Amino acid sequence: MKKAGIAMLAILSLTTALVVGCGQSGSSATSVTTKATATGTTNAIKTTAAAKTTSETTKAAAATQASGNTTGNWKASTVTLYVPTKAGNQADLYIRFITPVLEKQTGKKFVVVNQTDGNGVVAYENIRTGKKDGSSLLYFLNSMIVQTHTGVYDKNVSENFTPIAIDTASGGMWLVVKNDSKFQSVKDIIDAVKANPGKVTYGMTSGQALHLLGGMMNKDIGAELSLVDAGGNAERLISLLGGNVDFTFVSTGAAKQYVEKKEIRVLGCVTGTGEKDPLYPDIESVTKLGMPSVKYGFDTMLLGPSGMDASLVKEINAAFQKAMVDPEVVKQFAAMENTMTPLDVEASSKYVKDKDSEIAAIAKTLNFQ
């Protein structure tokens, strides 16, 4: 990690944990969880949201295909997709929903490689310095952009990579605690952090989006969390259940089974808009519960090295985004408590530039730069 990242980690490690929550009291948190997982209500919400999103994404993909080049610029018979996270974590699960459909559509073979060395930097560099023919691509969450502003990676995404296909998520993550936790609401966590700075532990992933959220929470609460690097989704859940951290954020899909087993409780959510997740309208966002700075959408990015041929990029975008609206893929994302909206090449490029500026501004206020 670069000096700036190390300095910030040193500062943040002194801070006390603050939990973002969307629940009210213990009973209301339980009620919220029950409502969110109740078969009738939840299925109705999911069906409506999925139908709406399918319609929107189909239109977006059709527009993308219409603008794409279909003369066969994408020559590679085998495409390696580097995913800088462990198998079973969010981005890895997502791409494995998509590749079988891509193979049917294109006749190509897609190989997923989980390369986590250097907090993902090795995977990033493999693509940045790789061939520009679409034979090797990078698939990851937009937390990669966060890493460029927290000292983990020193290459600007928009200048060193070609944004090929961005998909924005409607959902977000849940702020969760163990079922027997003393924290019954977000307010409980905030009060505890203020009373005992540095004592409340927050499980995050160093140098990535959840790390940035920790800084946002410190700022909003006016007291510091104890930031604990607990790895990806699966690892954070293990750390939470083992009592190593007091709270964390976890994707809804990963958390749901533990909620149903009453091993964890949901206190709130975080989304890119700061509003509720449309699939779970009974769970308030942490943005509305005393943490106005805490908002983040976990969108996905398909990237190639800079300087790729424009026609090739359009062709890959068209194929990828067509796969994203395939009924089976939409169903798989719905099962993960998420729906995705695909962007065409122009919108994908704009997204990366805008997100880079937004995160740079936040990182600066948190002294990452």
How does pLDDT run across 152-168, given as a tens digit for each residue?
999 999 999 999 999 99
C-beta of residue 24 within 8 angstroms of C-beta of residue 183: no
Question: pLDDT digits over 92-113, tens only?
Answer: 999 999 999 999 999 999 999 9
Question: pLDDT digits over 244-262, tens only?
Answer: 999 999 988 889 899 999 9
CATH architecture of the domain 42-169+297-365 equals 3-Layer(aba) Sandwich (3.40)
pLDDT of 226 reads: 96
Pairwise CA distance, residues 90 & 264, whole Å:
19
pLDDT of 66 reads: 37
pLDDT of 208 reads: 81
Question: Between the CA of residue 215 and those of 201, 225, 352, what are the distances in Å?
Answer: 13, 9, 22
pLDDT of 363 reads: 86
Split at pLDDT 50, 70, 90, the class of 61 is very low
Question: pLDDT digits over 115-157, tens only?
Answer: 999 989 999 999 999 999 999 999 999 999 999 998 899 999 9
Pairwise CA distance, residues 249 & 255, whole Å:
9
C-beta of residue 21 within 8 angstroms of C-beta of residue 186: yes
Question: pLDDT digits over 174-205, tens only?
Answer: 999 999 999 999 999 999 999 999 999 999 98
Residue 57 above 90 pLDDT?
Answer: no
- Domain spanning 3-39+172-288, CATH class: alpha beta
pLDDT of 279 reads: 85
Split at pLDDT 50, 70, 90, the class of 297 is confident
pLDDT of 303 reads: 98
C-beta of residue 298 within 8 angstroms of C-beta of residue 251: yes
Pairwise CA distance, residues 261 & 264, whole Å:
8
Question: Between the CA of residue 318 and those of 107, 187, 277, 322, 353, what are the distances in Å?
Answer: 15, 46, 28, 6, 21
Q: For residue 47, give the nearest of 325, 281, 335 by alpha carbon.
A: 335
Split at pLDDT 50, 70, 90, the class of 267 is very high
Residue 88 above 80 pLDDT?
Answer: yes
Split at pLDDT 50, 70, 90, the class of 300 is very high
pTM of the model: 0.69
Pairwise CA distance, residues 234 & 298, whole Å:
16
Q: What is the mean pLDDT of the chain?
A: 82
Pairwise CA distance, residues 351 & 346, whole Å:
9
Split at pLDDT 50, 70, 90, the class of 369 is low
Average pLDDT over residues 58-69: 40
Pairwise CA distance, residues 253 & 342, whole Å:
20
* Stretch(es) of the chain classified as CATH 3.40.190.10: 3-39+172-288
Average pLDDT over residues 345-364: 93
Split at pLDDT 50, 70, 90, the class of 356 is very high
* Stretch(es) of the chain classified as CATH 3.40.190.150: 42-169+297-365
Could you give the percent of the chain with pLDDT greater than 90?
A: 63
Average pLDDT over residues 25-35: 32
